[in-house]
Amino acid sequence: MKPNIPCFLRRVHKDERGQMLVMVAVMLVAILALTAFVIDMGHVYFCYRELQATTDAAALAGGAAIPNGTAFTTAYKYSGSTANGAVYNVHSNLTIPTVTPQLGCATNAAYQLPPCIIYGAQISANVLQVTEKATVPLMFASLVGRSSMPITAVSVASASGGSVAPFNVAIVVDSTASMGSQDAGGLCPHAKETCALDGVQVLLQNLSPCAGTGTCTASGKTGQVNNAVDEVSLFTFPAITSASAPSEYCGGGRPSVQPYPLPAIGVAPASTPTYQVVGFSSDYRSSSSSTTLNSSSDLTLAAGGASTCTGLQDPGGAGTYYPSVIYSAESLLLSEQEARPNTQNALIILGDGEATATKSDMASNATASGTYPSYNDECTQAVTAAQWAANQGVGGTRVYVVAYGTSNSTGAWCQTDPAPYNVPCNELKAMASTAAYFYTDVNSTKSGCTSTDNQTITSLNQIFTNITGSLTVARLLPPSLFP
């Protein structure tokens, strides 16, 4: 029997049947482990991309809201975190318990960031960083003791105004008799006309007169510089004798009032009399980085930004009538946009909305029809004119309305207009091209006229700062730019 044992062992050693089963079993375990790892990591990566997209959205929305003073609350709404009050970007497969927004003041010439300004209760800032954290459950890794993986996403965005966009801006400032009264809100200790011009100066201090950070060089054309970016023109009503004439707004500060010209819709008005105080100008600052206005600019002078000139003051002498100045300003905006392709138009209207012009305040072509040009239904005509302006030009015109000392009830104004435009507040709200472009000062708020989108912005300086910010959109920045 012993000789047979070695033979048996040799046969067993040489028999290869069944060895592949062992190899397959080993490889199958490895393949399954690798597949589990790929599935888990793929799920983690997918969740991370969702988290990053949500964080980007929160940063952009919060950055756009910096000028509103609501950066944090807006970022939370877009954060996807229901624990932090998210309304948008909520994902069923991703729970985001931690959202951390931070405001900062960044400086980098290459990105042409907006200025660092204090908005509402926020700190001085021009960028927002949002950090979001989540935990991703793992399916297969839990078998080896790893049940989840933490992920973090960071995004930084500028405030609105972070990118330079060429704008043609027409500012319409009421200069009827009511603007000579003292500002009753306590936020500006001057006559309302002066307070309004203070706001215009804030706008000029935050726009970009020319491209780059160097000195703006004169182009040889009055009021213009080379490489102009944002051009601004100042309008008023009632009409004055001539445009670009410092004697009109510096010689005693009260231009000679003319009956309201009634230009045809869409047709540039005659040169005199005119609603345009100063033509489109880009010389209001010596450079885009300058913090002071150019005192030799006609636009600066008319806005009261130079010690040598009082700036435009209310001449009184006529009731309020909006449509003709809107048609006039929009027609000139269209001409400017045609001369400067790839620019965007913006029309900013400041007034109380209390239309009270009489037939004698207007040119001879005024009618009683209630349709422009008419001395009846003046507030309804104002709404029609503003809505027409919003739909003109390439990309339309952004129509901003600043309600200044506006009533929220009926009275000795808009008396022939049907509801709801017989109430000045309703009229001005309807004139703005979106609810986000309608603002009310503290005087209007006290009378019950409020803005649904800009309730916390009630000083004229804040309002014009906010308008400047909204002229362009927030944009994502490299996270390393956050201070």
Q: What is the pLDDT of residues 169-217, one digit of tens each?
A: 999 999 998 898 999 888 899 999 999 999 999 999 988 898 776 789 9
418-438: average pLDDT: 96
Question: Is 184 found in the same domain as 57?
Answer: no
464 lies in a domain?
Answer: no
Question: Is 91 found in the same domain as 171?
Answer: no
CA distance 140 to 37: 7
Q: Which residue has the tokens 């600019």?
A: 297
254 lies in a domain?
Answer: yes
Strands 344-351 and 167-174: parallel
Confidence of residue 282 (pLDDT cuts 50, 70, 90): very high
Q: How many residues does the chain have?
A: 483
**What are the pLDDT digits (tens) for 318-330?**
899 999 999 999 9
Please list, in sequence order, all residues whose beta carbon lies within 8 angstroms of the beta carbon of residue 353, skipping any fewer than 6 positions away.
320, 322, 379, 382, 403, 406, 407, 413, 414, 424, 425, 427, 428
CA distance 250 to 272: 18
419-437: average pLDDT: 96
Question: Is 149 found in the same domain as 211?
Answer: no
DSSP H helices in 91-233: 192-206
Is there a contact between 406 and 352 (Cβ–Cβ < 8 Å)? Answer: yes
Question: Is 330 found in the same domain as 203?
Answer: yes
Question: Is 224 found in the same domain as 150?
Answer: no
E strand segments, 141-259:
148-158, 167-174, 231-240
Is there a contact between 139 and 170 (Cβ–Cβ < 8 Å)? Answer: no
Fill in the amino acid letter for 278: V
Cα–Cα distances (Å) from 299 to 303, 329, 409, in that order, read: 6, 16, 35
DSSP H helices in 340-423: 378-390
11 lies in a domain?
Answer: no
pTM exceeds cut of 0.95: no
Picking from 143-157, 227-241, 246-260, 459-473, which range would have the lowest pLDDT averaged per residue? 246-260
Is there a contact between 226 and 212 (Cβ–Cβ < 8 Å)? Answer: no
Question: Is 179 found in the same domain as 145?
Answer: no
Question: Is 279 found in the same domain as 359?
Answer: yes
- Retrieve residue 245's tokens: 């004439």
457 lies in a domain?
Answer: no
Return the pLDDT at 75. 94
Return the pLDDT at 8. 55
Q: How many domains are contained in the chain?
A: 2
Question: Is 241 found in the same domain as 347?
Answer: yes
Question: Is 89 found in the same domain as 212?
Answer: no
Which DSSP category does 18 fall into? Answer: T
pLDDT at 17 over 80: no
Question: Is 151 found in the same domain as 192?
Answer: no
Which residue range forms the structural domain that includes residue 28? Answer: 18-159+477-481
